[in-house]
Amino acid sequence: MDAMIAYCGLDCSGCPIHRATLVEDISVQQSMREDIARICRQQYGMELHAADITDCDGCRSQTGRLFSGCARCEIRMCVTGRSFESCAYCAEYACETLQKFFETDPAARVRLEEIRISF
Domain ranges of the chain: 12-118
Give the burial class of 99: count Cβ atoms within 10 A of its Cβ; 0-12 exposed, 13-18 middle, 19 or more buried.
Answer: exposed
pLDDT for 52-99, tens place per residue? Answer: 999 999 988 887 899 888 888 899 999 999 999 999 999 999 999 999
- Cα–Cα dist 112/65, whole Å: 24
Residue 105: its pLDDT value, please? 87
In tens, the pLDDT along 13-38 reads: 888 999 999 999 999 999 999 999 99
Environment class of residue 26 by beta-carbon count within 10 Å: exposed (0-12), middle (13-18) or buried (19+)? exposed
pLDDT of res. 2:
60
Number of residues written out for the chain = 119
Does the structure show a pLDDT above 70 at 1? Answer: no
Report the pLDDT value the prediction gives residue 8, as an integer from 0 to 100. 94
Q: What is the mean pLDDT of residues 38-58?
A: 88
Query: Which pLDDT score is estimated for 7?
Result: 94
